[in-house]
Amino acid sequence: MTKLSVLDLAYIGEGFTPADALANARDLAQHAEAAGYERFWLAEHHNLAGIASAATAVCIGHVAGGTKTIRVGAGGIMLPNHSPMIVAEQFGTLATLYPGRIDLGLGRAPGTDQRTLQALRRGPDSSEHFPQDVVELQALLGPPQENQGIHAIPGEDTNVPLWILGSSLFGAQLAAMLGLPYAFASHFAPQALLQAVSIYRERFELSDQLAEPYVMVGCNVVVAETEDDARRLFTTPQQQFTRMVRGTRGQLPPPVDDIEDFWSPMEKSQASSMLGCSFYGTPETIKSKLEPMIAETGADELMVVGAIWDHSARVRSYELLAQAMN
The 3-state DSSP class for residue 222 equals strand
CATH code for the domain in which residue 65 is found? 3.20.20.30
Contacts of 297 (CB under 8 A, 6+ apart): 193, 194, 197, 215, 217
Burial class (CB in 10 A: 0-12, 13-18, 19+), 175: buried
Residue 153 host element (H or E): none
φ and ψ at residue 54, rounded to 5 degrees:
-60, -45
Dist CA 226 CA 288 (whole Å): 15
Dist CA 6 CA 34 (whole Å): 13
Query: Given this model, what pLDDT does residue 167 score?
Result: 94
Question: Does some domain include residue 293?
Answer: no
Q: What is the dihedral of CA 166, 198, 306, 38, to 10 degrees?
A: -90
Question: Does some domain include residue 314?
Answer: yes
One-letter amino acid for residue 67 of the chain: T
Which residues on adjacent β-strands are paired with residue 217?
Answer: 184, 302
Query: Given this model, what pLDDT does residue 109 score?
Result: 82
The 3-state DSSP class for residue 69 equals coil
Question: Does some domain include residue 249?
Answer: no
Query: Given this model, what pLDDT does residue 111 score?
Result: 60
Q: Which tens digits make up the pLDDT trace of 277-326?
A: 999 999 999 999 999 999 999 999 999 999 999 999 999 999 999 999 98
Question: Does some domain include residue 268?
Answer: no
Dist CA 141 CA 91 (whole Å): 9
Query: Given this model, what pLDDT does residue 125 score?
Result: 75
Query: Given this model, what pLDDT does residue 112 score?
Result: 66
C-alpha distances (whole Å) from 164 to each of 158, 201, 261, 308 are 18, 14, 39, 27
Contacts of 245 (CB under 8 A, 6+ apart): 267, 270, 271
Question: Does some domain include residue 159?
Answer: yes
Query: Given this model, what pLDDT does residue 126 score?
Result: 78
For 93, the domain range is 3-216+307-325
Question: Does some domain include residue 191?
Answer: yes
Question: Does some domain include residue 225?
Answer: no
φ and ψ at residue 159, rounded to 5 degrees:
50, 45
Question: Does some domain include residue 74?
Answer: yes
Ranges under pLDDT 70 in the chain: 110-112
Q: Which tens digits make up the pLDDT trace of 78-100?
A: 999 999 999 999 999 999 999 99
φ and ψ at residue 39, rounded to 5 degrees:
-150, 160
* Nearest C-alpha neighbor of 299 from the set 282, 266, 277, 284: 277
Query: Given this model, what pLDDT does residue 117 score?
Result: 78
Question: Total structural domains in the chain?
Answer: 1
